[in-house]
Structures are given as C-alpha cells and as structure tokens.
C-alpha cells in the first residue's frame, strides 16, 4: 500500500478551508488517478512507497506573482501547478518517496468562479475540488495542449470527482 502525504497551507485569511476534508478528498482522488491512469502517468515504471504533494491556498495577487516570476505570464490564475516529478526527466525518487510537486490555488478566484458559474450551479467547495482534481492531473504529467487532451483531462476529472461524491459537496 502506498502512503500518500498531502500537506496544506492556507495563506488566505478570508476562507478557513477545511484542510482535513481537503486532504482526505484529495487523497481519494489521487488514489483513483493512480489506480486508473497510473500506467499512463509519470509514475509509470517507478518504484515507490510514498507520494507527497503540497497544496497552498492564497489569493490571486500571489498567483499573479508566481505566474509572472515562473511562467512569464503577467495575470492572476485560479490555479498554478509546479509538477516537480512529472517535469523532471530524471524522475528523482529518494528513499522510496516521490514528491509530485505543488498545487497553488487562489481562493478569491475560486469564490469568484463559483459565483460566476451559476449555470453550472457550483458552490465554492465544488469549484475548489474541481481545481484540485485538475491540479492532480498536471502533477501526474497530463497536459491539455490540444482539444483531444483537454477532453481527456476533463473526462478523467469527472470520474475522479465522482469518487468523492462531488455532487453532494
């Protein structure tokens, strides 16, 4: 059985995210992805006992800084992923542990997105888990540069979100 370590840090003081719930649901989604997509992910052919990742909650000012400083894009983002393991060709495994990387989420953008997407009827928690599921896909090495890749990512996200009973959040 693989150990999954998920660390969270909330720098956004206007929403006290239930970090225990985030960790538990993120773990279940990651387990779903590993079980169903592992052979097509950056984990393929790797030997590991532990997987770790970080989730940082902040505001869009911070994601704009990160976007500008690390991606040469000067605009705020709702989510930024730093896929340490997937982006490193050497796939560094230390003492049986893989650090997938970091998901950074602007909670003010999550709230804004939930309020804007009235037609989708998402609340802010659903919007948050939608973004986390998307970030996990990136950490596992899945991208969406083409429409076909985008459709694949979205379909897999829907399945992973089903594993946490997304429609009941």
pLDDT of residue 49: 96
Beta bridge partners of 57: 10, 105
Domain holding 151: CATH number? Answer: 3.40.390.30
Structural domain that includes position 121 = 3-168
- How many domains, in total, are found in the chain? 1
Q: What pairing do the DSSP bridges indicate for beta strands 50-58 and 79-82? A: unpaired
| Residue 119 pLDDT greater than 60, yes or no | no
Output the pTM of the full model.
0.93
pLDDT in tens, 128-141: 999 999 999 999 99
Q: What's the pLDDT score for residue 67?
A: 95
* Range list of H helices, the chain: 19-37, 60-71, 84-87, 107-116, 124-139, 147-162
Q: Is 85 a residue whose pLDDT tops 80?
A: yes
């Amino acid at each position: 059985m693989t150990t999954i370590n998920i660390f969270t840090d909330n720098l956004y003081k206007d929403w006290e995210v239930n970090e225990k719930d985030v960790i538990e649901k993120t773990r279940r989604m990651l387990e779903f992805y590993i079980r169903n997509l592992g052979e097509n992910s950056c984990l393929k052919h790797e030997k590991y006992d532990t997987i770790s990742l970080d989730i940082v909650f902040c505001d869009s000012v911070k994601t704009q800084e990160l976007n500008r400083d690390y991606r040469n894009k000067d605009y705020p983002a709702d989510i930024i992923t730093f896929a340490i393991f997937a982006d490193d060709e050497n796939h560094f495994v230390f003492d049986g542990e893989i650090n997938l990387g970091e998901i950074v989420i602007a909670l003010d953008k999550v709230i804004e997105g939930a309020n804007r997407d009235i037609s989708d009827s998402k609340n802010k928690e659903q919007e948050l888990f939608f973004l986390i599921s998307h970030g996990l896909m990136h950490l596992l090495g899945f991208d969406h540069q083409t429409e076909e890749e985008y459709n694949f990512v979205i379909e897999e996200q829907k399945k992973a979100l089903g594993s946490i009973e997304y429609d009941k959040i």
